[in-house]
Structure 1
């Protein structure tokens, strides 16, 4: 039997901010495979397949238009109901998807992480790209409605900022991923937190200007949207596309500050926990 030569490599302990981004770039094909896997598994053995991506927000838009627009008579700053509620639903669903995927990161991938080595950061990144794929499909339908209403003479005053819409997507993705990873780091030890988070996410939508404009909020409750980091990007999206709505610079900076802080803290916790969480799950 031939002698086997082994090489022992001793490396210093990884720093908290060492995210091994070079390895992530080297494994970019794996990110693509994860995105493809998630997309195929989600719509496998369904009759309508990816059409559900637009059917679900459309049904939600119709329901919100009836309940909040007609029954509750909540105004939309002159924006057609379809555009107002569809865009809000689309953006919130995107944020919630990024958050939910990240918050279940360690639990859902425990078996995979325990079997083979690969840069763990590829998983949350692939989750974000999966949700980006979905929102771009929904965004295309929004553009169809948008062009229709412009041709119909609806009072829509979009600006050149509409071409910067990917920044809104990146903003929401970073926020959802950051907060989600923080929650995921906690749910590996405290499983009850997962149930609480699901409940809280459902309530959080109504503390965000998804089904109502910020202008309809009484001044004594305006602080709720000010400290809610999801409110600013959604309201800013409507301002860019419809010319309706209002958001202060202070609110935008606060939201961006919270987003950066949550993403930074999430990545630090991820880097700290991804090496030993398998012993806890």
Structure 2
């Protein structure tokens, strides 16, 4: 990737005046993240967001209904397999409500991670022709996932309200105030992890095929289909290292009164998320310089 700076127009007698907007120069070996340029290209972020949204619906029959079908079918499957057959505890919550609450947040994280892991390969034709801060694309991907999250979260509130009216589960509406913070946390985590994978796939293309499998394993290592309280104490240290533990458990705690997440787990998860974001930004910035030569 390269830095750019403004230069004045060139005047010479007998020659046509030429004026350049920017000149592109090599940056050197030290990674540099130009957040000011990303902000200047904020309109492009919005353009990519609309492109992804329109492209998804352009040739679909059910449109946004797919965002509702996916969590309902998945939660029903988990209800049969883990609730009825395996008979796993759900901390006193109705199993369907327990599963769908974890699925909604996990689906957003999974989308951020998997879609950002192929930024260079999916946009190679665009990156090779036009200059703009490449970080614009991962940010737009995280924003695009918010559409599905919003639709699925409305479904979650509807299901929660039905169970609350029936008296089978409590619903604390004040807990909704914490949701934006949880979403921001997951977006940062998904983008940071996705940037790391994206930077690595520039050299190791087969990592793309491992992302889906690794994400599935990660889900089963997260309290999505079982509560944190059911984990044997000798294995709980692992969940201090899993940054998706805190947001999912906190959602259930704030909305349904489930046991609160330990402060130590939140601190550990926040530190790991921050480290993943910084590592992702640095690796992504370094990968920009030669990505188009190897993709």
Contact map agreement 1:227 1:254 (CA 8 A) in 2: yes
Cα distance in 2 between the residues matched to 1:145 and 1:169: 20
Where in structure 2 are the equivalents of 1:109-128 lying within 5 Å? 109-128=123-142
Which of residues 191, 203, 225 in structure 1 aligns to 2:205? 191
Change (3 A) 1:126 1:10: closer
RMSD: 2.1
How many angstroms does 1:249 deviate by? Answer: 0.9
Q: Which sections of structure 2, spanning at least 5 residues, go unmatched?
A: 1-13
Cα distance in 1 between the residues matched to 2:160 and 2:28: 49
After superposition, the C-alpha distances for 1:194-218 in whole angstroms (9 at most, x for unaligned) are 2222211111111111111111112
| Residue matched to 2:18 | 5
TM-score by length of 1: 0.93
| Residue matched to 1:216 | 230
How many residue pairs get matched?
281
Cα distance in 1 between the residues matched to 2:68 and 2:15: 61
| Residue matched to 1:95 | 109
Contact map agreement 1:232 1:255 (CA 8 A) in 2: yes
Change (3 A) 1:190 1:104: same
How many angstroms does 1:12 deviate by? Answer: 8.1
Q: Which has the larger radius of gyration?
A: 2
| Residue matched to 1:162 | 176
Contact map agreement 1:16 1:271 (CA 8 A) in 2: no
Cα distance in 1 between the residues matched to 2:59 and 2:187: 28
How many angstroms does 1:48 deviate by? Answer: 0.5
Q: Which sections of structure 1, spanning at least 5 residues, go unmatched?
A: none
| Residue matched to 2:67 | 53
**Aligned with 1:49: secondary structure?**
coil
Higher helix share: 1
| Residue matched to 2:3 | none
Cα distance in 2 between the residues matched to 1:275 and 1:22: 19
After superposition, the C-alpha distances for 1:35-73 in whole angstroms (9 at most, x for unaligned) are 111112222222101110111011001111111111111
After superposition, the C-alpha distances for 1:73-119 in whole angstroms (9 at most, x for unaligned) are 11111112222111111111110100011111111111111111122
Contact map agreement 2:91 2:258 (CA 8 A) in 1: yes
Where in structure 2 are the equivalents of 1:254-269 lying within 5 Å? 254-269=268-283
